[in-house]
């Protein structure tokens, strides 16, 4: 079995022949610089000269454009991604064709770095930061799963770290080129290119993907668990220079090395959450990304950075698990306990909502040292006065008789 990935470009490709700096594509996109190169194509930064807006163009290699399956997969990626409207997924706005026949699609321009490059610099991430990045990715994947789209190629190089306008970290999920749309026929969403060839990176692929079984959303949960393990330790749990050895380890009965053996400061609860996401038996694995987020956030409840910007309510609602009460997104300066925390599970949420609201302070024209009579006492006194007046009137009428 061989694997085809998009990570390593073939050395013979002359990318400048695809799109050189200064080129004007279809009369409106002026190429500014090359952002990335891969086995399938090239990504360039370009200026939309009419809108004066910077965008990114993903262009399929001319050699791949003549391959029917590569071309279909490339265009399917554009269609699938365009359907997903979520801040954690890099948006696609348009598609087009170069003069040489290579298709391209237009994406939002992102500044930052993918997590693979970030790990190469830092080695490993702080625990709450790693949890937050994976939880953000889960929100984007929840949108995909809600639309019957499985990503199937989640790995650090496909998670991009950028910034929101307020300066907070924002994770974007990239590259739906190996995605599977479950509502489509097998001829349109098959991930095999030819006999014995599989698209994807085996270190991040679930056992059911490797043994050619039917996959569902839990395959992406597995990959996210692998990513979190790597963000915390600097290496995925199944790793070797030989792809065959990696596959054997993933498919074997021996579980991944407990993460605390590589990093002792990982909380026990977080180790258990990762182990649950990496269950080979899909029936025992974390069932969906909402539960994965709940598990990993519950494991680090004392650090607000883990839950920064995360809304478990939105994730659950996207998956059709029912809408929770409208809970504000946790900000960097907000507390992470009580009813304002969207990471609180529903059973605890019901308890926290029953807490009485603070009493309103009202200035009363009375001696503040005297307790105010309860409302029912005032009503009773009023009724007693009315009854007394009526009784006196009746008594007066009887006396006149």
Q: Calculate the CA 368 to chain-centre distance.
A: 54
The tally of CA atoms less than 13 A away on the side-chain side of residue 37 is 14
Residues contacting 99, CB < 8 A, separation 6+? none
**What are the CA-CA distances from residue 168 to residues 102, 171, 225, 262, 310 (Å)?**
37, 10, 23, 29, 12
Helix (H, G, I), strand (E, B) or coil at 163: strand
> In whole angstroms, how far apart are CA 87 and each of 150, 160, 165, 334?
18, 12, 12, 21
Tokens (6 digits) for 374: 């309860």
Residue 153 is among the residues annotated as catalytic for this protein: yes
Task: Please name which of 155, 119, 141, 138 lies closest in space to residue 6, comparing C-alpha atoms.
Answer: 155
Cβ atoms within 10 Å, residue 206: 26
* Strand positions, DSSP E, 38-168: 41-48, 53-60, 92-97, 103-108, 113-114, 149-150, 159-163
**Which of 67, 99, 153, 367 is an active site residue?**
153
Tell me the catalytic residues.
Answer: 153
């Amino acid at each position: 079995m061989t694997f085809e990935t998009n990570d390593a470009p073939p050395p013979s490709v002359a990318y400048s022949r695809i799109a050189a700096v200064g080129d004007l594509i279809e009369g409106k996109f002026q190429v500014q610089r090359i952002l990335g190169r891969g086995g399938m194509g090239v990504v360039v930064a370009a200026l939309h000269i009419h809108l004066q807006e910077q965008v990114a163009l993903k262009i399929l290699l001319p050699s791949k454009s003549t391959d029917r399956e590569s071309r279909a997969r490339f265009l399917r990626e554009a269609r699938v991604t365009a359907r997903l409207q979520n801040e954690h997924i890099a948006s696609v706005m348009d598609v087009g064709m170069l003069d040489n026949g290579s298709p391209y699609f237009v994406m939002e321009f992102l500044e930052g770095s993918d997590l693979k490059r970030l790990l190469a610099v830092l080695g490993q991430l702080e625990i709450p930061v790693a949890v937050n990045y994976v939880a953000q990715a889960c929100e984007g994947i929840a949108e995909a799963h809600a639309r019957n789209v499985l990503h199937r190629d989640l790995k650090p190089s496909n998670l991009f770290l950028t910034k929101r306008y307020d300066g907070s970290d924002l994770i974007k999920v990239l590259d739906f080129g190996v995605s599977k749309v479950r509502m489509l026929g097998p001829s349109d969403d098959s991930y095999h290119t030819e006999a014995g060839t599989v698209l994807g990176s085996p270190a991040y692929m679930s056992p059911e993907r490797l043994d050619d079984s039917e996959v569902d959303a839990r395959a992406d949960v597995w990959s996210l668990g692998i990513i979190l393990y790597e963000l915390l330790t600097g290496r995925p749990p199944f790793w070797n220079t030989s792809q065959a050895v990696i596959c054997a380890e993933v498919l074997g009965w021996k579980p991944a090395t407990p993460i605390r053996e590589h990093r002792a400061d990982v909380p026990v609860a977080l180790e258990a959450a990762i182990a649950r996401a990496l269950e080979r038996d899909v029936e025992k694995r974390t069932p969906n990304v909402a539960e994965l987020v709940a598990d990993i956030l519950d494991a680090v409840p004392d650090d607000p950075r883990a839950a920064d910007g995360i809304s478990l309510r939105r994730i659950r609602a996207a998956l059709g698990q029912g809408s929770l009460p409208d809970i504000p997104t946790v900000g960097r300066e907000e507390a992470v306990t009580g009813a304002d925390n969207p990471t609180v599970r529903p059973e605890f949420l019901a308890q926290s909502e029953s807490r009485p609201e603070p009493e309103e302070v009202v200035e009363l024209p009375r001696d503040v040292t005297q307790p105010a009579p309860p409302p029912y006492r005032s009503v009773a006194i009023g009724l007693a006065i009315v009854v007394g007046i009526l009784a006196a009137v009746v008594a007066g009428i009887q006396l006149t008789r």
